[in-house]
Amino acid sequence: MKDKGLKRKISEYGSRNKDNIRLAFSDPEFGKRIQEIRSYLEIPEGLYGDSESKDEDQSIEAWFNKLLHKENAEELINYFTASIQEIIKDFNYPDNWFETIRQYIITGEIKKLPGLPFSIKPTVGNRAVQLTINNKLTDKDWLTIKEFTNKFFGKRLFSNKKIKDLDRKLAIKDQWENKRIYFDYGDQEYITRTSEDIADFIEDKTGKRPSKSEIYNISDQIKKIRDRVFKKFIKK
Protein backbone atom coordinates (compact mmCIF):
# COMPACT_ATOMS: atom_id res chain seq x y z
CA MET A 1 0.00 0.00 0.00
CA LYS A 2 1.65 3.22 -1.17
CA ASP A 3 -0.70 5.76 0.44
CA LYS A 4 0.96 7.14 3.60
CA GLY A 5 -2.32 8.46 4.99
CA LEU A 6 -3.99 5.06 4.90
CA LYS A 7 -0.85 3.42 6.27
CA ARG A 8 -1.03 5.79 9.21
CA LYS A 9 -4.70 4.95 9.77
CA ILE A 10 -3.95 1.22 9.75
CA SER A 11 -1.23 1.81 12.33
CA GLU A 12 -3.65 3.84 14.46
CA TYR A 13 -6.23 1.05 14.36
CA GLY A 14 -3.54 -1.45 15.37
CA SER A 15 -2.49 0.66 18.34
CA ARG A 16 -6.12 1.04 19.36
CA ASN A 17 -6.45 -2.75 19.35
CA LYS A 18 -3.32 -3.51 21.34
CA ASP A 19 -4.81 -2.91 24.80
CA ASN A 20 -7.82 -5.08 23.93
CA ILE A 21 -5.53 -7.85 22.71
CA ARG A 22 -3.33 -7.69 25.82
CA LEU A 23 -6.44 -7.88 27.98
CA ALA A 24 -7.84 -10.81 25.99
CA PHE A 25 -4.56 -12.76 25.99
CA SER A 26 -4.26 -12.38 29.79
CA ASP A 27 -7.20 -14.76 30.22
CA PRO A 28 -5.87 -17.97 31.89
CA GLU A 29 -8.29 -20.08 29.85
CA PHE A 30 -6.95 -18.52 26.66
CA GLY A 31 -3.40 -19.25 27.81
CA LYS A 32 -4.33 -22.86 28.47
CA ARG A 33 -5.74 -23.26 24.95
CA ILE A 34 -2.59 -21.74 23.46
CA GLN A 35 -0.39 -24.17 25.38
CA GLU A 36 -2.47 -27.11 24.19
CA ILE A 37 -2.04 -26.06 20.56
CA ARG A 38 1.69 -25.45 20.97
CA SER A 39 2.12 -28.85 22.56
CA TYR A 40 0.13 -30.66 19.89
CA LEU A 41 2.06 -28.96 17.09
CA GLU A 42 5.38 -29.40 18.93
CA ILE A 43 6.22 -25.71 18.75
CA PRO A 44 9.43 -25.06 20.73
CA GLU A 45 9.83 -22.04 22.96
CA GLY A 46 11.60 -18.98 21.62
CA LEU A 47 10.90 -19.21 17.88
CA TYR A 48 11.78 -16.08 15.98
CA GLY A 49 11.35 -14.66 12.50
CA ASP A 50 13.89 -15.49 9.80
CA SER A 51 15.02 -11.86 9.56
CA GLU A 52 16.49 -12.03 13.06
CA SER A 53 20.09 -13.25 13.36
CA LYS A 54 19.80 -16.24 15.67
CA ASP A 55 20.21 -19.99 15.46
CA GLU A 56 18.55 -21.16 12.24
CA ASP A 57 17.22 -24.26 14.01
CA GLN A 58 15.08 -21.99 16.15
CA SER A 59 13.54 -20.10 13.26
CA ILE A 60 9.86 -20.23 12.35
CA GLU A 61 10.83 -21.50 8.92
CA ALA A 62 12.76 -24.44 10.41
CA TRP A 63 9.80 -25.44 12.60
CA PHE A 64 7.33 -25.11 9.74
CA ASN A 65 9.52 -27.17 7.37
CA LYS A 66 9.70 -29.87 10.00
CA LEU A 67 5.91 -29.77 10.31
CA LEU A 68 5.46 -30.10 6.55
CA HIS A 69 7.61 -33.24 6.43
CA LYS A 70 5.46 -35.11 8.95
CA GLU A 71 3.21 -37.85 7.57
CA ASN A 72 0.13 -36.13 8.98
CA ALA A 73 1.20 -32.62 7.93
CA GLU A 74 -2.13 -31.79 6.29
CA GLU A 75 -4.04 -32.87 9.38
CA LEU A 76 -1.79 -30.72 11.61
CA ILE A 77 -2.16 -27.63 9.44
CA ASN A 78 -5.95 -28.06 9.36
CA TYR A 79 -5.90 -28.48 13.14
CA PHE A 80 -3.89 -25.29 13.51
CA THR A 81 -6.35 -23.28 11.43
CA ALA A 82 -9.43 -24.82 13.04
CA SER A 83 -8.05 -24.24 16.55
CA ILE A 84 -7.60 -20.53 15.91
CA GLN A 85 -11.10 -20.28 14.47
CA GLU A 86 -12.48 -22.06 17.55
CA ILE A 87 -10.66 -19.66 19.87
CA ILE A 88 -12.11 -16.68 18.00
CA LYS A 89 -15.58 -18.16 18.27
CA ASP A 90 -15.35 -19.38 21.89
CA PHE A 91 -13.84 -16.17 23.27
CA ASN A 92 -15.90 -13.88 21.03
CA TYR A 93 -12.86 -12.22 19.44
CA PRO A 94 -13.09 -10.30 16.13
CA ASP A 95 -12.38 -12.37 13.02
CA ASN A 96 -9.50 -10.11 12.01
CA TRP A 97 -7.55 -11.27 15.09
CA PHE A 98 -6.79 -14.55 13.31
CA GLU A 99 -3.25 -13.64 12.22
CA THR A 100 -2.48 -12.01 15.58
CA ILE A 101 -3.44 -15.22 17.39
CA ARG A 102 -1.53 -17.37 14.90
CA GLN A 103 1.65 -15.37 15.43
CA TYR A 104 1.15 -15.46 19.18
CA ILE A 105 0.84 -19.26 19.17
CA ILE A 106 4.08 -19.58 17.18
CA THR A 107 6.21 -16.97 18.95
CA GLY A 108 4.51 -16.35 22.30
CA GLU A 109 4.55 -12.62 21.51
CA ILE A 110 2.06 -10.06 20.19
CA LYS A 111 3.92 -9.38 16.96
CA LYS A 112 1.16 -8.56 14.48
CA LEU A 113 -1.69 -6.26 15.37
CA PRO A 114 -5.00 -6.28 13.50
CA GLY A 115 -5.22 -3.44 11.01
CA LEU A 116 -8.41 -1.79 9.81
CA PRO A 117 -11.70 -2.87 11.45
CA PHE A 118 -12.95 -3.86 8.01
CA SER A 119 -11.72 -5.59 4.88
CA ILE A 120 -12.61 -4.85 1.28
CA LYS A 121 -11.94 -7.20 -1.60
CA PRO A 122 -13.16 -7.42 -5.20
CA THR A 123 -15.74 -10.02 -6.12
CA VAL A 124 -15.33 -12.42 -9.03
CA GLY A 125 -15.16 -10.39 -12.22
CA ASN A 126 -14.02 -7.25 -10.36
CA ARG A 127 -17.40 -5.57 -10.92
CA ALA A 128 -18.13 -5.09 -7.21
CA VAL A 129 -16.36 -5.17 -3.86
CA GLN A 130 -17.24 -7.10 -0.74
CA LEU A 131 -17.08 -5.32 2.63
CA THR A 132 -16.45 -7.30 5.82
CA ILE A 133 -16.79 -5.41 9.11
CA ASN A 134 -15.06 -6.84 12.19
CA ASN A 135 -15.68 -4.13 14.80
CA LYS A 136 -18.22 -1.45 15.60
CA LEU A 137 -17.55 1.54 13.39
CA THR A 138 -17.31 5.23 14.17
CA ASP A 139 -18.33 8.00 11.74
CA LYS A 140 -14.62 8.43 11.01
CA ASP A 141 -14.36 4.72 10.14
CA TRP A 142 -17.11 5.08 7.53
CA LEU A 143 -15.21 7.94 5.92
CA THR A 144 -12.11 5.72 5.83
CA ILE A 145 -14.10 2.96 4.12
CA LYS A 146 -15.24 5.45 1.47
CA GLU A 147 -11.68 6.75 1.01
CA PHE A 148 -10.20 3.24 0.87
CA THR A 149 -12.82 1.95 -1.59
CA ASN A 150 -12.58 4.87 -3.99
CA LYS A 151 -8.79 4.98 -3.93
CA PHE A 152 -8.04 1.29 -4.45
CA PHE A 153 -11.18 -0.01 -6.17
CA GLY A 154 -12.76 3.09 -7.74
CA LYS A 155 -11.61 2.27 -11.27
CA ARG A 156 -13.35 -1.10 -11.08
CA LEU A 157 -16.69 0.23 -9.87
CA PHE A 158 -19.55 1.77 -11.79
CA SER A 159 -19.90 5.53 -11.35
CA ASN A 160 -23.58 6.27 -10.80
CA LYS A 161 -23.86 9.91 -11.87
CA LYS A 162 -26.88 11.90 -12.98
CA ILE A 163 -26.99 12.49 -16.76
CA LYS A 164 -27.90 16.05 -17.62
CA ASP A 165 -31.20 16.52 -19.51
CA LEU A 166 -31.59 12.77 -20.09
CA ASP A 167 -35.41 12.83 -20.03
CA ARG A 168 -35.43 15.59 -22.66
CA LYS A 169 -32.81 13.83 -24.82
CA LEU A 170 -34.73 10.55 -24.74
CA ALA A 171 -37.95 12.38 -25.58
CA ILE A 172 -36.32 13.95 -28.65
CA LYS A 173 -34.92 10.57 -29.67
CA ASP A 174 -38.30 8.89 -29.28
CA GLN A 175 -40.11 11.59 -31.27
CA TRP A 176 -37.52 11.64 -34.07
CA GLU A 177 -37.34 7.87 -34.44
CA ASN A 178 -41.15 7.70 -34.48
CA LYS A 179 -41.79 10.76 -36.63
CA ARG A 180 -43.97 8.75 -39.03
CA ILE A 181 -47.35 8.54 -37.31
CA TYR A 182 -50.75 7.14 -38.23
CA PHE A 183 -53.16 9.80 -39.41
CA ASP A 184 -56.64 8.76 -40.54
CA TYR A 185 -57.43 11.50 -43.02
CA GLY A 186 -58.88 10.52 -46.34
CA ASP A 187 -56.53 8.45 -48.47
CA GLN A 188 -53.46 9.43 -46.44
CA GLU A 189 -52.94 7.01 -43.53
CA TYR A 190 -49.53 8.24 -42.35
CA ILE A 191 -47.77 11.54 -42.13
CA THR A 192 -44.12 12.21 -41.43
CA ARG A 193 -43.48 15.02 -38.98
CA THR A 194 -40.70 17.47 -39.72
CA SER A 195 -37.97 18.55 -37.35
CA GLU A 196 -39.97 21.72 -36.79
CA ASP A 197 -43.00 19.68 -35.70
CA ILE A 198 -40.86 17.74 -33.25
CA ALA A 199 -39.18 20.91 -31.99
CA ASP A 200 -42.64 22.39 -31.29
CA PHE A 201 -43.67 19.25 -29.43
CA ILE A 202 -40.51 19.13 -27.27
CA GLU A 203 -40.68 22.85 -26.52
CA ASP A 204 -44.29 22.45 -25.39
CA LYS A 205 -43.36 19.52 -23.11
CA THR A 206 -40.06 20.75 -21.69
CA GLY A 207 -39.99 24.49 -22.22
CA LYS A 208 -36.75 24.23 -24.18
CA ARG A 209 -36.72 24.11 -27.97
CA PRO A 210 -34.19 21.78 -29.61
CA SER A 211 -32.28 22.88 -32.68
CA LYS A 212 -32.47 21.03 -35.98
CA SER A 213 -28.91 19.80 -35.47
CA GLU A 214 -29.77 18.41 -32.04
CA ILE A 215 -32.77 16.55 -33.45
CA TYR A 216 -30.88 15.14 -36.44
CA ASN A 217 -27.95 13.96 -34.29
CA ILE A 218 -29.85 12.88 -31.18
CA SER A 219 -29.35 9.12 -31.71
CA ASP A 220 -25.58 9.54 -32.10
CA GLN A 221 -25.46 11.88 -29.11
CA ILE A 222 -27.21 9.38 -26.84
CA LYS A 223 -25.00 6.56 -28.14
CA LYS A 224 -21.90 8.58 -27.22
CA ILE A 225 -23.28 9.13 -23.71
CA ARG A 226 -24.09 5.43 -23.39
CA ASP A 227 -20.63 4.41 -24.64
CA ARG A 228 -18.94 6.82 -22.25
CA VAL A 229 -20.87 5.54 -19.25
CA PHE A 230 -20.86 1.79 -19.94
CA LYS A 231 -18.03 0.90 -22.31
CA LYS A 232 -15.51 2.80 -20.26
CA PHE A 233 -16.72 0.96 -17.17
CA ILE A 234 -16.45 -2.43 -18.88
CA LYS A 235 -12.88 -1.77 -20.05
CA LYS A 236 -11.65 -0.90 -16.55
For the chain (236 residues), the mean pLDDT of every run of 10, in chain order, is 62 75 94 94 73 58 87 93 96 91 90 79 77 84 84 78 89 90 66 89 91 92 87 58
Q: So what's the pLDDT on residue 186?
A: 61
In 3-state terms, what secondary structure has residue 187? coil
Q: So what's the pLDDT on residue 88?
A: 95
- 96 CB-contact burial (10 Å; exposed 0-12 / middle 13-18 / buried 19+): buried
Q: So what's the pLDDT on residue 63?
A: 86
Long-range contacts of 12-20 (CB under 8 A, 24+ apart): 13/114, 13/115, 13/116, 13/117, 14/113, 14/114, 14/115, 15/113, 17/113, 17/114, 18/110, 18/113
Spatial neighbors of 4 by CB under 8 A, at least 6 apart, are none
Across-strand partners of 34? none
State pTM to two decimals. Answer: 0.59
